[in-house]
Amino acid sequence: MSSAGRQARSVERREVVIVGGGPAGAVTAAWLARGGRDVLVLDRSPTWRWKACGVFASPTAVDELRRLGLDQATIDAIARPVAAMRVETAGAPPVRLTYGAERDPAKAAVGFDRAGLDTALLTAASDAGAEVRLGGSVQEVDPPRLVVVDGEGQHDIEARVLVGADGIRSIVARSVGIDRQPVLDRTALTYHVALPPDWGRDARMLVFDGGYCGLAPVPGDRLNVGIVLGGRWLRRLRTEGAAAVVAEIDPTGLTRCDRIEGAAPVAHRVSRRAGDGWLLVGDAAGFLDPFTGEGLHRALVSARLAATAIERHLAGRTFDLADYERRMRGRFAAKDIVSVIVQGFLARPAAFGYAARRLAARRAVRETMSDVMGDLVPATRAIDPRFLAALLRP
């Protein structure tokens, strides 16, 4: 669009504009609006729709929801307690990761109803005073300006701070030139089936050559099925389609409650998370590994850290957006290394089975790995040479 064309239209000016109304965007908006800031949230979907997204989360994600102010009745309605994640692979006994529940049963992992979670968080943002606009499409981003198209036409919006909360295909990340080719080429497929009456309280992660399948109970007596595929499975997806591949892999054999949704690539990588007048939160800020089930936790934490940085920036502390980058790196760099290590083992079934057998037999090692994956202790514990020696020794 020419500069003359842009100048012909009026420009709406806001303090903070957030592109994306998922958990990260909604929570960022809620924190800022509670502090009295002028916040606009833009999301292209006019209503919530089922899409490929994470549902399993460690207890720390629930802690973040409580910190935001969600009441227990709302949490109970949108989150189903999960006693443990049972990791199963051929040639090794199951590894039961409890995410700290062995020490404190009240600190259970959960399976989320994403329709309920996402709606509750957007409602929290709106109740706090943020304006939420649904159904508009962001066509151009040239920080601090955006061009948005909705039912009333085309609009220019200018923000003092622009937040990209728009997922692994973030238009904000692309516009500032910091999106990078993901390290892993993998595709995720997700859907729900009815929860078998004898299922119990555990979730399961089934590891096979070329991928893995997560099964997590969620509210509404449903079982969320999440399949992550690489290698030869990707070729089959392209030639045979998702339904044919799912029919071969799905361990439940049950009728789907909803359509199969996909996301590709699963991973998203950026060179940095903040710059002059903009920052990224949630999956837009980089996401590596759904196996650890930490996407929702990272979304909620990044939203809280971003809101603090934006508040200080708007109050005149110029460098606080760069401080957000430093805090995110300090908070998640070690966890990313752990994720890379886990993915390395997943790519080699024999190596993964070797590690699984030792985790199953060594309680202290298993509990440390469980705590790291659940973000209950610093991830540096899992890359400590003493821990690796205890895990890998014969």
Fold (CATH) for 187-263: D-Amino Acid Oxidase; Chain A, domain 2 (3.30.9)
3-81+107-183+267-338 and 187-263: same fold? no
Beta-ladder partners of 190: 226, 261
Task: Determine the pLDDT at residue 244.
Answer: 95
Task: Determine the pLDDT at residue 183.
Answer: 67
Task: Determine the pLDDT at residue 48.
Answer: 85
Beta-ladder partners of 158: 13, 145
Taking Cα atoms as reference points, which of 212, 374, 224, 190 lies closest to residue 298? 374
Backbone angles phi, psi at 393, to 5 degrees: -65, 150
Beta-ladder partners of 156: 11, 147
pTM of the model: 0.92
Cα distance between residue 17 and residue 2, in whole Å: 23
Q: Where are the domains of the chain?
A: 3-81+107-183+267-338, 187-263, 348-392
* Pairing state between β 261-263 and 222-229: unpaired
Taking Cα atoms as reference points, which of 159, 175, 162, 156 lies closest to residue 5? 156
For the domain covering 3-81+107-183+267-338, report its CATH number: 3.50.50.60
Task: Determine the pLDDT at residue 318.
Answer: 67
Cβ-count burial of 377 within 10 angstroms (0-12 exposed, 13-18 middle, 19+ buried)? middle
Question: Which residue in the block uniquely carries the two structure tokens 């601090």?
Answer: 144
Kindly list the averaged pLDDT for each block of 10 residues, start to end, along the chain of length 394. 55 95 97 97 90 87 94 96 93 90 81 96 97 93 90 91 92 90 81 95 92 94 94 91 94 93 83 92 83 81 96 84 91 87 84 93 93 89 94 91
